[in-house]
């Protein structure tokens, strides 16, 4: 399901993929927390939060707590290439290897290779400096 209505999306999903600029991640995660989401959460944003200098996983830990199942989707990808169906590779990183493997497998497609990693900071920093 793709929607701009966060509440209805969270009610209907098994896991949530949040694609928002890093500058908005804290606010969006606050809304997720308010909805009492107890589903896996993946963000697809890159860079550092401007006000704090924190990486997305650090913002998520502050807002959601360390026990929330979550991870980052990043890569040396360009939106236009993905939209054109060109071969693309991404990495799904999470502190929990089983989480990272599971969602990397679920997102993997013939033209979209998704690898997994437990190096959240490394994947997020690589995406930020791309």
Q: What is the DSSP string of the chain?
A: ---S-HHHHHHH-SSEEE---HHHHHHHHHHHHHTT--S-EEE---S--TTT---HHHHHHHHH-TTS-EEEEE-S--HHHHHTT--EEEEEE-SSHHHHHHHHHHH-BTTEEEEEES-HHHHHHHHHH-
54 catalytic? Reply is no
Residue 105 contacts residue 79 (beta carbons within 8 Å): no
Residue 100 contacts residue 120 (beta carbons within 8 Å): no
Catalytic position from the list 46, 54, 101, 130: 130
Active site residues: 130
């Amino acid at each position: 399901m793709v929607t701009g209505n966060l509440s209805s999306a969270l009610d209907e999903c098994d896991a949530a993929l949040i694609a928002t600029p890093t500058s908005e991640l804290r606010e969006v995660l606050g809304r997720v927390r308010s909805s009492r989401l107890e589903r896996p959460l993946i963000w697809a944003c890159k860079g550092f939060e401007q006000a704090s200098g924190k990486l997305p996983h650090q913002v998520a830990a502050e807002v959601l707590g360390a026990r929330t199942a979550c991870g980052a989707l990043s890569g040396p990808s360009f939106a236009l290439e993905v939209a054109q169906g060109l071969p693309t590779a991404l990495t799904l990183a999470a502190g929990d290897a089983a989480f990272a493997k599971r969602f990397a497998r679920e997102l993997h497609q013939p033209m979209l290779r998704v690898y997994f990693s437990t190096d959240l900071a490394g994947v997020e920093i690589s995406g930020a400096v791309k």
